Structure 1
Amino acid sequence: MKLVSWNVNGLRACCKKGFLDYFKEVDADIFCVQETKLQEGQIDLDLDGYHDYWHYAVKKGYSGTAVFSKVEPLSVRYGIGVDEYDCEGRAITLEFENFFLVNVYVPNSQRDLARLSFRLAWEDKLKEYLHELNQVKPVILCGDLNVAHQEIDLKNHKSNNGNSGFTDEERGKMTDLLASGFVDSFRHVHPDQEGAYTWWSYMNKVRERNIGWRIDYFIVSEGMAPMIKEAAIDSQVMGSDHCPILLELA
């Protein structure tokens, strides 16, 4: 089974930059997107063979998640059961026979950390939600988690220490989640790979020089770790300030 996750930073804009070409080429069984930035009826996608599920933000042109799946899920849930987060369209859960898939767009703490407390509360609620699901069947969590977990996960860790996405608090929440029974699939397969990033600033030539952050993840229940065949980053794919990530399961 092949899964793909991509923060498209505006799906309509990304479609003008090759989204559909990549979508068809990669031929994923499940394709998750974040930051769709649209409302119902604002896009017409020709995704033959896929079931599509959308969680729109109340605020127009903001946030939003979607999942496209070849297999029809047993059930679908929108949000994590907390109105202040769910109104921002940040999560979709698809239940399949052998696992839950949870596609999320984690709140950004913002440059001045104005939303850090909001973000940390989200982390606690999400962890609680994931563990509730995990008691039923294994979980695959994917999406833009807006944190570089370790120093290896961003180019300039010293100068970014304490900045949004690399605070001790945010990194600690990721550490706690992984310690509670989950596995970062990319580091499971590539524990020491440096220069592996999924997001780059739009500043001049930053992406060309690979000055980036790894903030997009596939995280799986520990019991699924032996099923991981590959976890990869399609860093050459343009169309957004993020690139797609892939997970292949046996």
Structure 2
Amino acid sequence: MRIVSWNINGLRSIMRKSSLDKLLSMDNYDMVLLQEIRSSGDIPLTIIGLGYEAYPFPAIRKGYAGVMTLTKIHPISVIKGIGINELDSEGRIITVEFNDFYVVNTYFPRAGDDLSRLDFKLSFCGAIEKFLANLRSKKPIIMCGDFNIARDKIDSSFWDEKHPGLTLEERAWLNQFLKSGYIDTFRELHPNAKVYTWHSYREKWRAMRIDYCIVSKELMSKVRKAEILTNIEGSDHVPVMIEVST
């Protein structure tokens, strides 16, 4: 199974630029996980014509956040949200279930330029960790998306622990989470690579690796590839992809 995940920074914008069309024409992906769709969940005809089933989970607030999962393989079930209204109203997580594993598409909150949403971000982190633990008691997990956290200094072109995504609290949670039995597939397969998934539009020198494909460790032996598709334009993020044998 080939899965690609991308924070598209607006579904209408990415469709207008034909960037999603370009991505999907470059390779045969079984699943496409989109974050920050900023839409009501309407499905573009282009996507339907490519043979994907589409499962959107938009935010209640218009033009904000939201995720959408596209799949060519019909899922057993679809879970929208994690059962906490305060978090789910922002449309940040959708899960599809297959025979052998769950695929979780997630868009973590940003802590905010002044860190005003750091507590909200950390509450989301704790809640999703509990949600995943429940899923994992049934079958393994693949989770891809924009975490808005850079793990370590190798994952950022600059260092400021008061910057959202680089705070001690956010990094501590992510690294603790990984130690609980999950694998950052790109870093596992490319231990020394300095490649970023987000670049600032305004300050070109600011870049971070904040988009991940993570698997529960029992699946790592089936991971064949984990890449960052730096040649795809159209958003301030680039896609990440994972290939898992099934």
Work out which of the residue numbers 204, 217, 220 in structure 2 matches 1:225: 220
Percentage identity across aligned positions?
38
Asked whether the equivalents of residues 200 and 207 of structure 2 are also in contact (C-alpha less than 8 Å), the reply is: yes
Deviations 1:56-106 (A, max 9, x none): 110000000000001000000000111001011101000000000110000
Counterpart position of 1:52:
54
Asked whether the equivalents of residues 135 and 141 of structure 2 are also in contact (C-alpha less than 8 Å), the reply is: yes
Structure 1 residues 127-166: aligned runs within 5 Å: 127-157=129-159, 160-166=160-166
1:163: how far off? 1.1
Counterpart position of 1:105:
107
Letter in structure 2 aligned against 1:58:
I
Letter in structure 2 aligned against 1:133:
L
Letter in structure 2 aligned against 1:95:
E
Distance 2:172 2:56 in 1: 30
Aligned to 1:46, the other structure's residue is in SS state: helix
Distance 1:139 1:212 in 2: 28
Structure 1 residues 30-179: aligned runs within 5 Å: 30-41=31-42, 43-47=44-48, 48-157=50-159, 160-179=160-179
Letter in structure 2 aligned against 1:113:
L
Deviations 1:114-165 (A, max 9, x none): 00000001100000011110010000111000000111001112xx222110
Distance 2:42 2:29 in 1: 24
RMSD, aligned CA: 1.2
Aligned to 2:47, the other structure's residue is in SS state: coil
Asked whether the equivalents of residues 41 and 57 of structure 2 are also in contact (C-alpha less than 8 Å), the reply is: no
TM-score by length of 2: 0.96
> Which segment drifts farther, 79-88 or 47-56?
47-56
Distance 2:138 2:44 in 1: 35
1:49: how far off? 1.5
1:26: how far off? 2.4
Counterpart position of 2:196:
197
* 1:11 lines up with 2:11 in the alignment: yes
1:184: how far off? 0.3
Count matched residues: 243
1:43: how far off? 4.3
1:12: how far off? 0.6
Distance 2:86 2:212 in 1: 24
Distance 1:124 1:27 in 2: 34
1:45: how far off? 3.6
Asked whether the equivalents of residues 34 and 67 of structure 2 are also in contact (C-alpha less than 8 Å), the reply is: yes
Aligned to 2:9, the other structure's residue is in SS state: coil
Distance 2:45 2:86 in 1: 29
Distance 2:15 2:26 in 1: 14
> Which segment drifts farther, 15-24 or 74-83?
15-24
1:25: how far off? 1.9
Distance 2:70 2:42 in 1: 16
Aligned to 1:62, the other structure's residue is in SS state: coil
